[in-house]
Structure 1
Amino acid sequence: MNDPALTSANPMTGRERPLFLLSFRQRDELAGLAAGAGWRVVAARRADGAERRLLASGAAVAVVDARGAVEEGLAAVRALAGAAAATGSALLALVSRGDAARLDAFYDAGATHFLASPMRETEFVQALRFAARHAERVSGEAIPLSGTGETLGWRYDPALASIQVTPALAAMLGLGEQPSLRAMLRRVETADRAALRAAFARLRDGLSATAFAHELSGAGRVVEHLQLDQRTGRVHALIERLGEVDAGAAVRDALSGVNDGAGVRRWIERRLSEGQPVGVVLAALNRFEMINTAYGRIAGDALLRAALARLTEAAREVLGRRFVAARVAGAEFVAAAEGVTAELLNATAARIEEALARPFVIGDEIVPLGARTATAAAEPGDGAADLLRRASDALAGNDAPPGTVPVDALAVDLRRALDAGEIELRFQPQVAVATGIVAGAEALARWRHTSGEIGAEMLFAAAERAGLELALSEHVQRLALAEAARWPASLRDLRLSVNVTAADVARSNFADLFLDWVDASGFPRGRLTVEITEGGLIGDLSEAARLLAELRTAGCRVAIDDFGTGYSSLAYLKALPLDYLKIDRKLTQDIAGSARDRVVVRGVIDMARSLGLAVVAEGVETREQLELLAKEGCQFYQGFLCAEPLTVDALAMLVEGR
């Protein structure tokens, strides 16, 4: 395998990792593909003794090639499921497309992942990568956490000009529980008082919550989370220590080389074997990967330790001391407890989300991240692997709502849908705020599925699961260019916006490829805007900047899409050559909310204008939202207030009518 992009995408960490491959036919190409991607393949041709060989191999991923041998494959998956569950391994089943209807049987037998043929080399390698990520999520060693901590905090009442502190803070600082303001201020270092004044100024200017960091005698570096009670005018503060997690207090840090997921599994297995009901909460920090890019790995590691400490304290508040918590992989964490109800699990998840929603401090900067969570409760016959797999799938968004098609089923069918031309486009108008004239349109993908029309979000989720992200992205881009090149005369002045993904810009030759597609279509470069999704986690910003600069030099324009969905926004604005900033629909819809929401949107628009960027607001649904955006200086909008995404004919009718 000569494609460096595939090799660099595999989950190796500087050495080969074992892969167990069971194939009932002579298919050496699979072993060759895996070896080329950095895996050390342990192959078997018969199911006899396969469980023993898997255990002996130490493999994190086992592959059962059931193409053309579905019954033998099912039997092999059943035989390997116990060993895979015991070691936390992922179990990937390869099936022929004609046997895709048997996927439920493979999952029931114990498979954790699947791939249907015919498949491309890239798809197989990516499937191994996703399976390895699952194995990392549920492997390692558990960390029972114990101990209690008293809250550090204070409350200021401006009406009485008085301040109250918690007993723990009073004891730490050697103060009474109602110290004078002067005594409290003396506890803040002179160099940090400017940060304190700035935080209070933000509250006066309309924010209801903010934070600042400083040195505190007896506690070291801390961050104070301030919240303003709009009704009473009181300011409440929660003080969070930023020191290292104490390894001697029963917390062994995964970053020190200790893997903690296996211990969680053992803890769960032991409780389940005793007949105890067990539930888990998985939590993942949003867009954490950009921390290492923007601030460096040391800062990222410190943030992970701080996040684990917060999660632990949050879980303890709800569950008491009968739980275990650990970092399991990347920026993902688990808390497991016995004897808990669904309501208690949900309460724990909500408390963890609340704790992780508070900003973190990196150096002197306040960095909001947020997190998503998922819960699962043990069912009869469950092992630890079953329980954690359900939680992991829910965290990844793979549990579809009732009545919808599961992502797994869509992924199986996506390659055929691409080949059959079932992926279509709609165009959402982008309107000039000042004149009401339609100035452009964004191309959005739709899938004519047997279950109904499937939108872009679910479509790309299926593509990620199937390892077809690049293929789908290229298909949509080329289709948009081809259709726009054939637009009727009434649309010949409109700009076309197409989306590109982080995976696209990670390809060093993407600019050349994309411009070739543009020129081949006949669509003018000067009327084309490339939209980079802000939430797309671009790994190498300098390389992305080089690529986007090439596109701009060639005549295209560049927009950052969904701005405001993650902390990486400022890093993107600083590094990337841009022409437009598109405000995420959540910010747009919040503008009609509180004064604080309007301040945030105003700040985004002012920042964009100071950088010479035009502003496009997404998701505008009401006249009130549009009027408020216009007052703040927004130049363009798109959303249901004008029109939903339209066919070319409907777009032409709209433009001609306006």
Structure 2
Amino acid sequence: MKLSSRINWGIIALMFFAFIALSVAELRLLQSNTSTLISNETEKALASYTKAANATLASSQTKSMMLSVVAETLAARPSIASANVTDEEGNVSVSHESASTGPIPSWFSLIDPAPAFKKRIALPNNDSYLVVTSDKHDTYSKFTAIVIKNATIFMSLSFIVYLLVTVLTKSALRPINDVIRKLNDMGGHNFTSPDANTSAKDFESLSITVNNLAATLASKFDDLTRQAELFKKEASKDALTGLSNRGAFERHMRALLNENATSQEKELIVVRLAQLANINTKLGMVPGDNYVKAITNILMEEAKNNSSIRFVFRLSGGDFALISEPMEKPTRDLVLTNISTQCASVTPLRDGTKATWIGVTRFTGSMTMQQVMESVDSALIASMKTQSGWQLASDIAHVHSNSQWRERLNHIVSQQYADIMIQPVMDIEKNMPAYYETSGRFKDKKTNDVIPMSQLIPASERLDLIPEVDKLVTNIVFKKMEVTSQQVAINLSITSIANREFREWLVKELTQRENLCSKLFFEIEDAALIQQREYTELLCRHLMGLGCRITIEHFGDNFASLSGLRVIQPQFVKLSGRLTQGIHTNKDNQLFVSSLISIAKNLNIKVIAEMVETEAESIALTKLGVEHQQGYYFAKPALWNVY
């Protein structure tokens, strides 16, 4: 209820009680005046009768006639219902009643239950009495008129007071409404709306405070907006090469493949660096990064010299994508030869192995993303068997890729074996591992070579085998944990989290292995909090209820995951590696990481920085308050040998 309405109802109630009290007082006064009037009229009539009777020495018959006239005169007076002459026993000898007497409503009888007033006076020299009775109907009529008058006055006053209170309340609330308007503008991120003003001294401090708050928030919001725009721009860029990243590639492909896109053909060229994993392992990450930069320069130069190539992306560690207009075979062969030759010339490894594999596919807007990527993946796999090192998807059987991958993956799952690699997450303050992150490493059944995860994961997702692969890794980790006290983490893919059968299997296995739960972490991508939020929250509640702990990785890649983070309340968040790399020289990333750390600590969540590769990065992160770090600076992934 509005403040003005509350005040008005309060005043109306008060005035109503005053109306009742005044009406009762008026009734009592009316009753008193009536009794006084009747007494006076009776006494005057008696005096007049006595004087006339004494003056004329009238006979008893004449006196009776005179008494009748007196009684009749009294009965004709206002406020008198009847005038009677009675003897001592109450026998009436003369009786006159007012002609105006009428019925009395029952409600008035409830208000005034007392009987009519009677004035009884003894007549001189006689045994008779003059009895005069008041007229209650006259009292009712006068009281009704008084009530109507009072009601009219009080209703008029109530209306006037209502208008007055409404006007005064609106005037008094105008400064508050101005402040509310300003606060609502601030809630809508409009900090430049007109300031809240007030002419009332009582609200002056409130207006000043709100205006100062708006100015402060406007400044902070501008800073955050600038940082968000910068981060959004950086989020679409690969930190190492400066090329557009996989997210930008997928957005660009979706634009080309939507149903409204033209049917004009495009070509997708994927270049895979076959030696990158070996370079990183044998020579270290810095030579690996330098190699990737050199490849980037080669691809950018090729795009610059060839007008058909429009875009260059870095999809992952060793995968690059080029989108071009359709090229004739001689032109395409020349481009691919140049790329292959130049990439081979910059590799730091001189072991005679092929430096790159290149897959090429043509696509139109009518195709799906899955179809395009499946086609180019088929070409990539086939390119490993060609002397040139590249393959056009249209020159091979499309189904071959899926069949081959399904055979390889089914073999992996059926063998129920994988090498488990571990890498420590270091507690910087204690200088010891907080826990170890685990990952599976799988070998091809024919070549016995390690299958790159950049190939295995997309193929597993395409063939819906990711949950089976995750089950295999999880089972092996469980078995190893039975004979070690180490605290370890298992990575769960988004696809597995969304799979009901996998979730039920995992909870059932953990219920049967309660002794492991206190030593077990599960690492979940923050993208799962957006893509599969309901299932992610459900699984995390089950896992934490069993005593397991949760780490949300790639924290900072997705702003929308923050709300899910508040719901889950994990023990750790792992900062995205692209934010931590080179952080000692990147002021913008330092500011953004500092904000993310503040968010996490306010939620009582510990922060891990991943991909820490130099002492300078570690020191910078420690100064920012990151107490847990992981990366090649501390240790490379190593084979977990516990049995």
- The structure that has the greater radius of gyration is 2
Q: TM-score, normalised by structure 1?
A: 0.43
Greater relative contact order (CA < 8 Å, ≥ 6 in sequence): 1
Higher strand share: 1
Structure number with the higher helix fraction is 2
Under a length normalisation based on structure 2, what TM-score does the superposition of the two structures give? Answer: 0.44
